[in-house]
């Protein structure tokens, strides 16, 4: 499955080993960064418009992902120690955005605003397509190093978040309640925090190995 998804995304005609091609890695990160930045803007706008915990949680996640993917570009040729340090910092950023997701959940409960289900499902579907593309672009590199793995984990979580948005929209349509939005927003926040802890542990282990 992974090999089928791999295509050369650089202009180097001599690129025969895509997994070793730095240009392909950079281009994959750049495309994923642009997708995340666009989805952050879209979800932030409609999240505030609809006061949706799920959309605002995923917008917070995408803003953190854009930062993570952007920073990953600058250290792609750096040492493993530097990559591990950056991944540790990125895990902290991810955790902060996870907490922000729960804050958005609190606001939705406080205001009891019911978002429009058609907005949730439409944006969720668009985001899902973009996030699946990001996962496919980074899937082959996820075990190269901690830097690329942290970028892949972010995009993988985005897929889960997009599915959560769609499910929230469908449940809001059938229940006419804000609780599905609250519950799915909490799930997205929990996934973000769990992933940040996982990346932090792996980063610390990598730093220990590099000190030996």
In terms of Cβ atoms closer than 10 Å to its own Cβ (0-12, 13-18, 19+), residue 17 is exposed
The reported pLDDT for the residue numbered 2 is: 41
The reported pLDDT for the residue numbered 6 is: 53
* Buried/exposed 83-115: b ≥16 CB within 10 Å, e otherwise: bbbbbbbbbebbbebbebbbebbeebeeeeebb
* Tokens 């989805």 sit on residue: 39
The reported pLDDT for the residue numbered 37 is: 87
pLDDT under 70 in the chain at which residues?
1-21, 73-80, 83, 145, 147, 210-212
Angle at 38 between CA 21 and CA 48, to 5 degrees: 150
Report the alpha-carbon distance of residue 51 to residue 48 in Å, rounded.
5
Q: HSE (CB half, 13 Å, CA atoms) of 30?
A: 9
Do residues 113 and 51 touch, judged by C-beta distance below 8 A?
A: yes
The reported pLDDT for the residue numbered 170 is: 93
The reported pLDDT for the residue numbered 7 is: 57
Report the alpha-carbon distance of residue 180 to residue 186 in Å, rounded.
10
The reported pLDDT for the residue numbered 125 is: 93
The topology under which CATH files domain 20-211 is Alpha-lytic protease prodomain-like (1.20.1510)
Cα dihedral across residues 183, 187, 189, 194: positive or negative:
positive
The reported pLDDT for the residue numbered 128 is: 92
DSSP 8-state assignment for residue 77: T
* Helix boundaries (H) for the chain: 2-5, 22-50, 53-74, 80-111, 117-139, 146-175, 179-211
Q: Return the domain boundaries, the chain.
A: 20-211
The reported pLDDT for the residue numbered 106 is: 87
Rounded to whole angstroms, the maximal C-alpha distance in the chain is 58
The reported pLDDT for the residue numbered 75 is: 65
């Amino acid at each position: 499955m992974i090999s089928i998804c791999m295509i050369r995304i650089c202009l180097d005609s001599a690129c025969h080993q895509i997994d070793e091609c730095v240009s392909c890695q950079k281009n994959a990160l750049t495309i994923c960064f642009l997708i995340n930045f666009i989805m952050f803007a879209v979800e932030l706008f409609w999240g505030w418009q609809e006061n949706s915990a799920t959309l605002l949680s995923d917008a917070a996640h995408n803003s953190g992902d854009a930062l993570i993917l952007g920073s990953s570009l600058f250290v792609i040729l750096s040492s493993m120690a530097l990559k591990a340090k950056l991944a540790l910092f990125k895990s902290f950023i991810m955790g902060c955005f996870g907490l922000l997701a729960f804050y958005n959940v609190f606001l939705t409960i406080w205001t009891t605003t019911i978002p429009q289900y058609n907005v949730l499902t439409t944006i969720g579907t668009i985001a899902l397509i973009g996030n699946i593309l990001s996962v496919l672009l980074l899937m082959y590199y996820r075990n190269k190093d901690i830097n690329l793995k942290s970028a892949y984990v972010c995009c993988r979580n985005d897929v889960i978040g997009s599915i959560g948005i769609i499910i929230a929209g469908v449940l809001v349509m059938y229940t006419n309640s804000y609780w599905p939005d609250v519950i799915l927003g909490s799930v997205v926040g929990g996934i973000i925090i769990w992933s940040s802890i996982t990346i932090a542990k792996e980063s610390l282990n990598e730093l220990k190995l590099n000190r030996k």
